[in-house]
């Protein structure tokens, strides 16, 4: 069983890494408003990809029951605030993209989830535990981008590009 999941993990992480690189390259040209966001995205693309791959691998490791060491999120309490309206719009848009991706490929998703569940009869596999669920992929990419602190409009541009790329791939 472990060999099968390891093969799935290796192939998925490799392909998703290629797709994430394409997203970063493509959206770098679409970034609006801020030259700093463009520079941050292009200069830190390797770090973004490494964080994304780490997040994907952590999702698979959790599924396999392996020990996962995640970076602790450090909050800057000086800039910590309630969710702004633009950020709320971003969250709603991201949830909409995840739901659309899941619904568009529902039959394939259910089939894959069923096959994956058969490998783990004692585990409940759903949107929160399937490492290839659109929500898990979006969360992994979101967390990889978080240190850049892109403004909400540019974040939305990147998320839309990732949604198109991951959905087409």
Q: Which domain holds residue 45?
A: 2-68+85-168
Q: What angle do CA 26, 41, 43 make, to 5 degrees?
A: 115
Length of the chain: 169
Residue 77 lies in a domain: no
pLDDT digits (tens, 9 = 90+) for 2-22: 788 899 999 999 999 898 888
pLDDT score at 55: 93
The pTM score is 0.79
**Does residue 79 sit within a domain?**
no
Tens-place pLDDT, residues 71-118: 655 555 565 555 566 677 778 888 888 888 888 888 988 898 888 888
Among candidate residues 106, 108, 86, 107, the one with its CA nearest the CA of residue 98: 106
Q: Which residue has the tokens 């192939």?
A: 11
Question: In total, how many domains does the chain have?
Answer: 1
Q: Which residues contact 166 (CB under 8 A, 6 or more apart)?
A: 16, 19, 101, 134, 137
Q: What is the pLDDT confidence band of residue 36, given thresholds at 50, 70 and 90?
A: low
């Amino acid at each position: 069983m472990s060999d099968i999941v390891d093969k799935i993990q290796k192939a998925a992480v490799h392909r998703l890494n290629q797709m994430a690189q394409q997203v970063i390259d493509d959206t770098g040209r679409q970034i609006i408003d801020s030259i700093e966001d463009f520079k941050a995205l292009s200069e830190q693309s390797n770090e973004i990809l490494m964080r994304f791959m780490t997040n994907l691998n952590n999702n698979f490791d959790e599924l396999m029951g392996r020990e996962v060491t995640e970076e602790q999120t450090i909050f800057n309490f000086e800039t910590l605030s309630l969710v702004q309206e633009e950020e709320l719009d971003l969250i709603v848009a991201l949830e909409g993209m995840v739901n659309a991706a899941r619904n568009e490929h529902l039959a394939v998703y259910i089939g894959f989830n069923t096959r994956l569940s058969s490998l783990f009869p004692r585990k409940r596999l759903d949107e929160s535990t399937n490492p290839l669920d659109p929500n898990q992929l979006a969360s992994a990419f979101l967390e990889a981008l978080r240190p850049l602190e892109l403004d909400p409009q540019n974040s939305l541009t990147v998320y839309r590009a990732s949604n198109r790329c991951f959905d087409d791939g």
